[in-house]
Amino acid sequence: MGSPQGRIPELRKDSVTNRWVIFSPARAKRPSDFKSKSPTTTQTQQQQDCPFCLGHEHQCAPEIFRVPPSSGPHWKIRVIENLYPALSRTLADPSAQYPILNPNPNPNPNPNPNPGSGVKVLGGFGFHDVVIETPVHSVQLSDLSPQEVGEVLLAYKKRIEQLSTHDSIKFVQVFKNHGASAGASMSHSHSQIIALPVVPANVSARLDSMNGFFHETGKCSICEVGVEDLLIDESTHFFAIVPFAATFPFEIWIIPRHHSSHFHELDGAKIIPQLTVVAGFEIGTGCHINPVFPEDAAKVLREVQNS
Amino acid sequence: MGSPQGRIPELRKDSVTNRWVIFSPARAKRPSDFKSKSPTTTQTQQQQDCPFCLGHEHQCAPEIFRVPPSSGPHWKIRVIENLYPALSRTLADPSAQYPILNPNPNPNPNPNPNPGSGVKVLGGFGFHDVVIETPVHSVQLSDLSPQEVGEVLLAYKKRIEQLSTHDSIKFVQVFKNHGASAGASMSHSHSQIIALPVVPANVSARLDSMNGFFHETGKCSICEVGVEDLLIDESTHFFAIVPFAATFPFEIWIIPRHHSSHFHELDGAKIIPQLTVVAGFEIGTGCHINPVFPEDAAKVLREVQNS
Ligand SMILES: Nc1ncnc2c1ncn2[C@@H]1O[C@H](COP(=O)(O)OP(=O)(O)O[C@H]2O[C@H](CO)[C@@H](O)[C@H](O)[C@H]2O)[C@@H](O)[C@H]1O
Ligand SMILES: Nc1ncnc2c1ncn2[C@@H]1O[C@H](COP(=O)(O)OP(=O)(O)O[C@H]2O[C@H](CO)[C@@H](O)[C@H](O)[C@H]2O)[C@@H](O)[C@H]1O
């Protein structure tokens, strides 16, 4: 086995938890402009070093597209490759190059177990992009006008449409880490898009659960949670709630009124403030402890927006 | 609805994710001797304030038992109630007092969905204990002799046996948070035991997955992952590995050679160093990104113990 540096990413399925895990040694090397900065580092210095800022395009991994789509220097949004990707876009179709080991495990009991035969491996094929939401270091997503935020959402939509043309891509996740305590390593406003060759177990469990609920009750389980106590805000096309069994304090779901199963046809979004620590109990059981009742969180959030 | 202070804990099942979440306002009030200590706080001062230290027993919630089981002042281990429990041990049997709402949801499609009808709630019945592993503030679990560590494990066993006599307790989790970065709020060496009235979805998924694997292959999926590359150490009764699809860097599983499904008959343990941050992608998908290949982690861990 090679050194971690030289190794390509790999997806492994744990036969005990039945979950896929992405192994990606390259990720360990990504920089952070939050960590280990001396307290005297100024905003200007941070900006001078930031590859996501206007004029620093050459410090980034290749661009996929920009908005507006001109070649001039005045872009508003850039969608680029992640320089330290969790998955590799240059591997060929995974089912061809890296067959799943033991797709049909021997159905006969074997008194001498052959160690390792229970494992599934997939080459780490997939896409990992960064969406730079503004050319200006000091601007956050919340500083943008509603129209500009709309342009960011349309950039996600365009990229998801491109990714979904790949037969071997089975799932695309758009996510945004805001601030160091949420795990972000870069302070310049951005989000990320990861396209996977598998559907994560959580996602299929969620779909199965919603499907089961619909078959049992004829209703949509997301519509069903929208009780008045939990409502934060609503508009013509969307409503925002604290979910009835919120996993995290002040968790927010933004739900479209129109039913749709894909984000690029406008699915919901989740906003999860990282105020609590996921520790031993949550890791062991997957069952979370939330100190804030959802109806209390919704009340606070309604008051915040009215003040 | 009352104020968060006055409210008893509640378990709610999210019909979208199909997971139980514990709501426990009392948890928000628990103290921490890691956070907001001034840098001049000395070990001695910390010790003077610590309710888990010898002589401070009166600052703790009631004791369940001590080891050795005398009433004298010289205990080695104390199992006590958690003063800020996630669940309430004084509620009666949950199925009697807090019926699951809509156990048989209306199977007919309803054109006017009644908001909130898709939710399941259970009174927050359960047990939440703390195991104080040593009377001395400065002693960590790793400072104890193998025999003393054995006594801690036997205290877990005894408490699990007590808890399992309750009909409505369906699952018991023993866990230990070591250090502030792992989420611990108290520095005095301790672990916790939570007994739940439900089986968490992750746990039943794990059991289903292992069951399925056994039925397909006639083998135990845990035995199957024990390939040589992943082995860290072994003894007569146990072996320690980095799991083939480890979710976290340097994750360790300690597995008994003897097959058993319950911890109090000596099940496995997991040790999960919190070196990475669980951020947007992991929360969204449940699929984790691990920068360290398990065979590399196992190599490092083998070398550590030989040095
Ligand atoms: N010059 C350059 N060109 C292109 N891309 C560049 C670049 N310099 C840095 N990058 C990339 O920019 C991204 C910034 O992303 P974030 O700040 O949202 O969090 P990150 O992905 O580091 O990790 C957080 O999110 C992930 C996923 O949820 C968690 O696994 C992890 O623990 C958590 O810290 C990084 O992925 C980095 O690789
Ligand atoms: N005088 C006293 N008598 C009795 N008990 C006392 C006490 N003073 C404090 N306690 C209890 O002692 C426990 C110490 O536990 P830990 O330090 O392992 O982490 P904690 O449970 O706070 O939270 C971590 O673990 C949980 C569960 O994984 C996560 O939900 C959480 O986010 C994470 O920070 C606390 O639960 C506290 O309620």
Cβ–Cβ < 8 Å for B110, A219:
yes
Q: Is B279 in the pocket of ligand 1 (CB under 6 A)?
A: yes
Range list of H helices, B241-293: 280-285
Best residue of A20, A119, A127, A217 to probe chain B, by most B CBs closer than 10 Å? A217
**B190 pLDDT above the threshold of 70:** yes
Please tell me whether A264 is known to bind a ligand: no
The torsion angle over the Cα atoms of residues A42, A48, A53 and A55, rounded to 10 degrees, is 150
Distance to chain B for A24, nearest Cα, Å: 5
Distance to chain B for A124, nearest Cα, Å: 11
Which segment of A87-91, A100-104, A247-251 scores lowest on mean pLDDT?
Answer: A100-104
Strand partners, B81: B129
Cβ–Cβ < 8 Å for B129, B79:
yes
Residues B82-122: pLDDT tens digits? Answer: 999 999 888 755 444 443 333 333 333 332 223 345 567 88
Instruction: Read off the pLDDT of each residue in A37-65 and give the average, rounded to a whole number.
Output: 80
Cβ–Cβ < 8 Å for A180, A188:
no
Residues with CB under 6 A from ligand 2: A 276-277, 279-282, 289; B 30-31, 51, 59-61, 80, 82-84, 130, 177, 183-186, 192
> How far, CA to CA in Å, does B233 sit from each of A227, A275, B222, B241?
53, 37, 16, 7
Rounded to whole angstroms, the Cα distance separating B183 from B48 reads 22
Q: Which residues of B are catalytic?
A: 190
Whole-number pLDDT of residue B123: 85
- Show binding-site residues of B for Zn(2+): 50, 53, 137, 188
Q: What single-letter amino acid sits at B183? A: G
Residues of A in contact with B279 (CB under 8 A): 175, 177, 182-184
Q: Which residues of A are catalytic?
A: 190
Ligand 1, atom 26, lies closest to the CA of B279
From the CA of A192, give the closest atom in ligand 1: 18
Instruction: Please give the structure tokens belonging to residue A115.
Output: 């160690």
Cβ–Cβ < 8 Å for A241, A231:
yes
Cβ of B290 within 8 Å of Cβ of A23? The answer is yes
Contacts of B102 (CB under 8 A, 6+ apart): B117, B118, B119, B120
Rounded to 5 degrees, φ, ψ at B197 are -85, 5
pLDDT, averaged across chain B: 77
Tokens 């990320």 appear where?
A192
- Residue B253 — very low, low, confident or very high, per pLDDT cuts 50/70/90? confident
Q: Which residue of B30, B32, B57 sits with most ligand 2 atoms within 8 Å of its CB, as the best mutation to test the pocket?
A: B30
Does CATH number 3.30.428.10 belong to domain B4-33+41-98+119-199?
yes
Q: Cα B256 to the chain's mean position, in Å?
A: 19
Instruction: Read off the pLDDT of each residue in A82-102 and give the average, rounded to a whole number.
Output: 65
**B188 pLDDT above the threshold of 90:** yes
**A290 pLDDT above the threshold of 50:** yes
Distance to chain A for B234, nearest Cα, Å: 15
- Residue B225 — very low, low, confident or very high, per pLDDT cuts 50/70/90? low
Best residue of A5, A7, A20, A21 to probe chain B, by most B CBs closer than 10 Å? A21
Rounded to whole angstroms, the Cα distance separating B239 from B236 reads 8
How far the first Cα of chain B sits from its last, in Å, is 59
Cβ–Cβ < 8 Å for B242, B297:
yes
| CATH top-level class of B202-306 | alpha beta
Cβ of A224 within 8 Å of Cβ of B15? The answer is yes
- Residue B222 — very low, low, confident or very high, per pLDDT cuts 50/70/90? confident
Cβ–Cβ < 8 Å for A34, A184:
yes
Residue B200 preceded by cis peptide, ω within 30: no
Is A211 in CB contact (< 8 Å) with chain B?
A: no
Tokens 């880490």 appear where?
A177
Cβ of A105 within 8 Å of Cβ of B216? The answer is yes
Residue of B nearest to A20 (CA): B287
Q: Which residue of A181, A278, A282 sits with most ligand 2 atoms within 8 Å of its CB, as the best mutation to test the pocket?
A: A282
Most confident range, picked from B93-97, B131-135, B285-289 = B131-135
Residue A113 preceded by cis peptide, ω within 30: no
Which segment of A6-15, A103-112, A249-258, B48-57 scores lowest on mean pLDDT?
Answer: A103-112
Residues A227-266: pLDDT tens digits? Answer: 677 888 888 888 888 878 887 777 888 877 777 655 554 4
Rounded to whole angstroms, the Cα distance separating B271 from B255 reads 11
> How far, CA to CA in Å, does A12 sit from each of B60, B229, B294?
45, 15, 11
Q: Is A61 in the pocket of ligand 1 (CB under 6 A)?
A: yes
Instruction: Please give the structure tokens belonging to residue B26.
Output: 């009392």
Residues B64-81: pLDDT tens digits? Answer: 999 998 767 889 999 999
Q: What share of chain A is helix, strand, coil (3-state, %, to 5)?
A: 30, 20, 50
Rounded to 5 degrees, φ, ψ at B46 are -60, -40
Instruction: Please give the structure tokens belonging to residue A269.
Output: 């979004």
Residue A182: CB atoms within 10 A of its CB come to 16
Tokens 């992009």 appear where?
A129
Give the whole-number percent of chain B exceeding pLDDT 70: 76
Residues of A in contact with B179 (CB under 8 A): none
- Residue B45 — very low, low, confident or very high, per pLDDT cuts 50/70/90? low
Rg (CA), chain A: 22
- Residue A194 — very low, low, confident or very high, per pLDDT cuts 50/70/90? very high
Whole-number pLDDT of residue A282: 76
Which segment of A298-307, B55-64, B167-176, B228-237 scores lowest on mean pLDDT?
Answer: A298-307
Tokens 């004084």 appear where?
B90
- Residue B36 — very low, low, confident or very high, per pLDDT cuts 50/70/90? very low
Cβ of A17 within 8 Å of Cβ of B205? The answer is yes
Per-window interface: A 103-122 vs B, CB < 8 A: 105-110, 113-119
Q: Directed axis angle between helix B201-217 and helix A201-217, to 10°?
A: 100
Cβ of B205 within 8 Å of Cβ of A21? The answer is no
Best residue of A11, A198, A202 to probe chain B, by most B CBs closer than 10 Å? A202
Query: Which of B284, B285, B301 minimizes the C-alpha distance to B293?
Result: B301
pTM for the predicted model, two decimal places: 0.81
CATH of A4-199, one of 3.30.428.10, 2.130.10.10, 3.30.300.30, 3.40.930.10: 3.30.428.10
Cβ–Cβ < 8 Å for B118, B13:
no
Instruction: Read off the pLDDT of each residue in A178-203 and give the average, rounded to a whole number.
Output: 88
Q: Exposed, middle or buried by CB within 10 Å (0-12, 13-18, 19+), for A38?
A: exposed
Cβ of B21 within 8 Å of Cβ of A287? The answer is yes
Q: What single-letter amino acid sits at B289? A: I
Identical fold between B4-33+41-98+119-199 and B202-306? yes
Cβ of A286 within 8 Å of Cβ of B115? The answer is no
Rg (CA), chain B: 22
pLDDT, averaged across chain A: 77
Cβ–Cβ < 8 Å for A194, A126:
yes
From the CA of B280, give the closest atom in ligand 1: 28
Taken as a whole, chain A contains a residue count of: 307
Rounded to whole angstroms, the Cα distance separating B119 from B102 reads 8
Whole-number pLDDT of residue B199: 87
Rounded to whole angstroms, the Cα distance separating A25 from A84 reads 9
CA angle A165, A169, A173 (to 5 degrees): 105
- For chain B, the structural domain boundaries read 4-33+41-98+119-199, 202-306
From the CA of B276, give the closest atom in ligand 1: 32
